[in-house]
Structure 1
Amino acid sequence: MSRPTATAFEAEVTAIEDLSPTFRRLTLSGPGMEGFGIDHHPQDLRFKLIIPPGGGEPVFDLPAFLADHEDPALSWYQAWLQIDENLRGFMRTYTVREWRDAERELIVDMVLHASTTGDGGPAGDWAANAEIGSRLHVIGPARDAPRGRGGIEFVPGAAEHLLLVGDETAVPAIASILDSLSHPPYRSGALTGEVVLEVPDARDILEISGPPGIDVSWHVRDGHDHGVLMSAAVRRSLQHAPGVTDAPAELDDIDIDAQILWDVPRALSSAARSSTATTPSTERPFYAWIAGEAGAVKEIRRYLVRDVGIDRRQVAFMGYWRKGRAEG
């Protein structure tokens, strides 16, 4: 009999900080988060927020639902989808910006999406209207659960030249990854690389920095099509990246309107895995982590793998969202 791998917690908003027109930082805590836990740096760890229907308080007992789910023929997620959304709410995926274990506080930076109609969707609307004391459910790791690396896609192995690319939806994950690079197992001064961030407004440029050797550049969309600026920046950055073969390779096509673009190989090439501190930098292939709007990510994926010939085992591509389509 299968048991759900997810654990649900009731969280309360205990602090709110508007970082910019696009980013709103929420601190989620409260008695219901006592069982939540991460015993390592979160890096780009994903978790789920269950947005209450109508933007109000949770009306569905999600923790009890997950604890009671025992149908071997139906996953808990499939069973959850069968419940009226006006009761269960809406599930959205976010990355942990920071976890403060002693305080039992989960920090999440939420993007306030805005369409031409002014509708930011359930998550954006909820974030924009959240107040101290607002409640919702969180699905994430339990502090007493067996530890693993589930939900983390940043796996650079021994590669020491990094390329991190993302739009505003990936900024929180990249900021967390950059913070992790200053902690073991990464060696101070051993890494080089570039971070390319694309945001809609100049006021969205945040104080984010990496360790020495990692350069961070911001690109303000300001009317340009989504992904154009970060794609151009990637092409410029590869002129200086070690391990680039410039040998075109075959690449399967993905219909991003019908499929999720999520290509996250967890093994680097043998050259990267076997490199050491004494290996010349030109022999250490770089590792790339690309996330954001699926159309933009797909274009960069095509360029890196098909046009330039970078080993797919050295690149993680993630379509966090798709223009015109809601998650789920």
Structure 2
Amino acid sequence: MTRLVSEADIALDDPSALASALIGHMLEHDVVCETRDACTFADLGIGSGVLEPTETVLKIRVEAADLGALESLRLFISSHVLEFADEPEPAIVWRGNLTNGPTLANFREVRLKSAVDLTPRMKRLTFAGDDVARFASDEEIHVRLYFPPAGLAVPEWPRPGDDGRIVWPAEERRPAVRYYTVRRVDLDVGEIEIDFLMHEDAGPGAAFAAEAVSGALCGMAGPVGRMAPQASWTLLAGDETALPAIARMLERMPPDARGLALIEVQDATDELPLAAPSGMDLRWLHRAPAHAGETSLLLDAIRAAPMPAAEDVYAWVACEFGSAKEIRQYLRSERGLARDRHQVVGYWEREPSRAA
């Protein structure tokens, strides 16, 4: 497979310090990094990166299979270089395979075609668009949805900047962005199905789904986010925000897959019929009358899980940010899972007032 490459040489007062900050940040987010001699190689999921600090310059190289992924890697690197760098702001100039289009390379416009209620708090929306084959990936399962401000006759979309960062429309015309899991793609008719969790305090995504206006326009970019790799035993766990992702991973597991799926929901009305291999034990966890993020229900269930001691075990977990942090620490310190044997993600963060 042909690999696309972009490189940048960033002049800095202390390239090694900034490289260390970048590497530390990636390790905190479970990115697998390996340092050989002066270079650090990072597996970034959608591609790879290499950091090489010299006395005056931080050399960066990113590789990916397509322009959209390469664009995302440039954004990741540039935004964090500028976040961790001291003043003045360093100049970043990328070379190699670049994109200069009116929107992001992995961006498509889509329109809402239909909507159906799956449960009292989950709705499935079907979108239609042209050239949507990139969203049919069996490896990356999430997309970014861009919701234009209400009443905007002609939406404006983000575009790539010269330094790798995204250039956004003016604030009053800027679309809201949320991440969702693709449940199904039908390339024959150009349709994409996405499940929306209906919150009490509706954000832009839930509000869009609640109105469900046929023909409503939004943007879609991606895909991003990795599925759990095949293993001899797999743990899938999460709250209802992770339900679409867990459902999709269960559907795509081999028939002989073994493991455990733990899904925390409010009550039995939130349960969905899920297709899963017979060797995957599916358990629903009801937290009512507590609210999401207020209990240790998911962590307690993971602690009690009959996880084998074999090396070929993989854990994929997504839930509230604070809970995810506790679960990640447990899997590492008490279960002994290496960084490349688990992925624990905070999909949302509890309001401080509720956490108190």
Whether the TM-score (by the shorter chain) exceeds 0.5 is: yes
- Give the whole-Å Cα distance in 2 for the aligned partners of 1:49 and 1:26: 12
1:72 is aligned to 162
Q: C-alpha displacement at 1:136, in angstroms?
A: 1.3
Structure with max Cα Rg? 2
The 1:107–1:294 alpha-carbon spacing in structure 2 relative to 1, beyond 3 Å, is: same
| SS, match of residue 125 in structure 1 | helix
1:156 pairs with 2:229? yes
**242, 262, 278: which one aligns with 1:196:** 262
**288, 304, 308: which one aligns with 2:335:** 308
Q: C-alpha displacement at 1:58, in angstroms?
A: 6.3
- Give the whole-Å Cα distance in 2 for the aligned partners of 1:134 and 1:172: 22
**260, 269, 272: which one aligns with 1:206:** 272
1:134 is aligned to 216
- Give the whole-Å Cα distance in 2 for the aligned partners of 1:58 and 1:314: 47
- Give the whole-Å Cα distance in 1 for the aligned partners of 2:248 and 2:163: 37
The 1:126–1:297 alpha-carbon spacing in structure 2 relative to 1, beyond 3 Å, is: same
2:154 is aligned to 59
Unaligned runs of at least 5 residues, structure 2: 1-94
The 1:58–1:85 alpha-carbon spacing in structure 2 relative to 1, beyond 3 Å, is: farther
| SS, match of residue 219 in structure 1 | strand
1:123 pairs with 2:225? no
Q: C-alpha displacement at 1:216, in angstroms?
A: 0.9
* Most deviating of 129-138 and 205-214: 129-138
**263, 268, 285: which one aligns with 2:312:** 285
Answer whether contact 1:44 1:177 (CA < 8 A) is retained: no
Q: C-alpha displacement at 1:38, in angstroms?
A: 3.6
- The correspondence of residues 236-315 of structure 1 with structure 2, limited to 5 A, is 236-237=304-305, 240-243=306-309, 283-315=310-342
1:92 pairs with 2:178? yes
Answer whether contact 2:136 2:184 (CA < 8 A) is retained: no
| SS, match of residue 313 in structure 1 | helix
TM-score by length of 2: 0.65
**115, 132, 148: which one aligns with 1:16:** 115
Answer whether contact 2:135 2:222 (CA < 8 A) is retained: no
Q: Give the partner amino acid of 2:216.
A: S
Count of matched residue positions in the alignment of Structure 1 and Structure 2: 251
Q: C-alpha displacement at 1:310, in angstroms?
A: 2.1
TM-score by length of 1: 0.70
Which contiguous aligned blocks of 4+ residues in structure 1 show a shift greater than 6 angstroms?
none
Q: Per chain length, whose mean CA-contact separation is higher, i.e. which structure has more relative contact order (CA < 8 Å, sep 6+)?
A: 1
Unaligned runs of at least 5 residues, structure 1: 142-150, 244-282
- Give the whole-Å Cα distance in 2 for the aligned partners of 1:88 and 1:59: 12
1:215 is aligned to 281
| SS, match of residue 317 in structure 1 | strand
Q: C-alpha displacement at 1:307, in angstroms?
A: 2.7
Q: C-alpha displacement at 1:39, in angstroms?
A: 7.8
Answer whether contact 2:145 2:221 (CA < 8 A) is retained: yes
The 1:138–1:58 alpha-carbon spacing in structure 2 relative to 1, beyond 3 Å, is: farther
C-alpha root-mean-square deviation of aligned residues, in Å? 2.2
Q: Give the partner amino acid of 1:121.
A: G
Q: Deviations over 1:58-77 (max 9, x none)?
A: 63232xx53xx4x322412x
| SS, match of residue 284 in structure 2 | strand
Answer whether contact 1:287 1:314 (CA < 8 A) is retained: yes
| SS, match of residue 97 in structure 1 | strand
* Most deviating of 211-220 and 125-134: 125-134
**120, 123, 132: which one aligns with 1:36:** 132
| SS, match of residue 198 in structure 1 | strand
Q: Give the partner amino acid of 1:59.
A: V
Q: Give the partner amino acid of 1:228.
A: S
Percent of aligned pairs sharing the same letter:
32
- Give the whole-Å Cα distance in 1 for the aligned partners of 2:267 and 2:171: 33
- Give the whole-Å Cα distance in 1 for the aligned partners of 2:106 and 2:339: 33
Answer whether contact 2:121 2:270 (CA < 8 A) is retained: yes
Q: Give the partner amino acid of 2:175.
A: G
- Give the whole-Å Cα distance in 2 for the aligned partners of 1:222 and 1:6: 43
